[in-house]
Amino acid sequence: MLVSPDAIFGTIGGGQLEFMAIDRARALIAEGRATDRMDVPLGPEIGQCCGGRVGIDIAFLDAELRRAMPKRIEAEEHMEPTVLVFGGGHVGLALAHSLNLLPLRTVIIETRADALDGMPTDVETRLTSVPEEEVRNAPPGSGFVVLTHDHALDFLIVAEALARTDARYVGMIGSKTKRVTFKNWYLKEASGAEADLERLVCPIGGSALKDKRPEVIAALAAAEVIRAVLPAAPVKPAGRVVGSTALT
């Protein structure tokens, strides 16, 4: 986590502990001190009930750390799972905005140029006449969300995604009827395996809510995707709050 006199970047988990760490880091900046350490009990005295203790090292962001930081951030971004969204319609656009808030590399793929208009500027977009090739070329462990304007194209892309045994999520927008239709086509025409169908999420977002507004579907689907593609966080040692950032 980076802390400056008027801004922060990153987090060490929020709550009162983080506010205390930010205050201490800013005090060090104001005093011109290079390092400090906090030993904080997570109990009633700071208004938290987590239990245990947390040690936080605070260090000024010197020239060496300034040079290392961009590479570290870039490396962490490369570790983010890739999610390919096929279709830039109303739900695709809403899903692009929802996924863009998450620690994911989101790619929107379309066969129609105008369907990519209005996408978030920092979300990658690809225009292609052969979207199924994007499935084959996706990084290992990717997630695939299929919601194009054409059911036949949906089926083709999903079949390619199910062929990726390393796919962490394969979802297709649609109804129970669409799933049954896909199943019949997949088993008979595409020579797919029954076991692979168990990996298909359709409809995306579940069926608990009947609300079909794109933003609602996108929120529910984004929650499914992040649970599926984000690996379990490893146990890390106590963080270092560097001048303005907590570094692990």
Q: Could you give the domains of the chain?
A: 2-77+235-247 (no CATH), 82-229 (3.40.50.720)
- Residue 127 and residue 111: Cα distance in Å, rounded? 6
57: tokens are 């090292």
DSSP-derived letter for residue 233 is P
Band the pLDDT of 233: cuts 50, 70, 90: very low
Q: Is 83 helix (H, G, I), strand (E, B) or coil?
A: strand
pLDDT digits (tens, 9 = 90+) for 43-69: 877 777 777 888 999 988 888 888 888
Residue 77, pLDDT score: 67
DSSP at 123: S
Sequence-separated (6 or more) residues with CB below 8 Å from residue 205: 216, 217, 218, 219, 220, 221, 224
Task: Give the full edge-to-edge strand order of the sheet including 143-146.
Answer: 124-127, 105-110, 82-86, 143-146, 169-172, 200-201
Asked whether the CA dihedral 212, 159, 87, 220 is positive or negative, the reply is: positive
Residue 43 structure tokens: 């109990």
**Contacts for 38 with CB less than 8 Å, ≥ 6 apart:** 20, 21, 24, 54, 55, 56, 58
Indicate the helix (H) or strand (E) that contains 173: none
> Rounded to two decimals, what is the model's pTM?
0.74
What is the per-residue DSSP string for 84-107?
Answer: EEE--SHHHHHHHHHHHTSSSEEE
- Tell me the pLDDT tens digit for each residue of 173-195: 998 899 999 999 999 999 999 99
Q: Which of 27-36, 103-112, 203-212 has the lowest average pLDDT?
A: 203-212
Residues 91, 205: Cα–Cα separation, whole Å: 11
State the number of CA atoms in the 13 A half-sphere of 119 facing the CB: 26
Average pLDDT, the chain: 88
Stretch 229-235: mean pLDDT: 63
pLDDT at position 230, please?
Answer: 86
For the chain, give the percent of residues with pLDDT over 70: 92
Helix (H), strand (E) at residue 18: helix 15-31
pLDDT at 200: 96
Q: What is the mean pLDDT of residues 24-48?
A: 87
pLDDT band at 232 (very low <50, low <70, confident <90, very high): low
Q: What is the mean pLDDT of residues 117-122?
A: 92
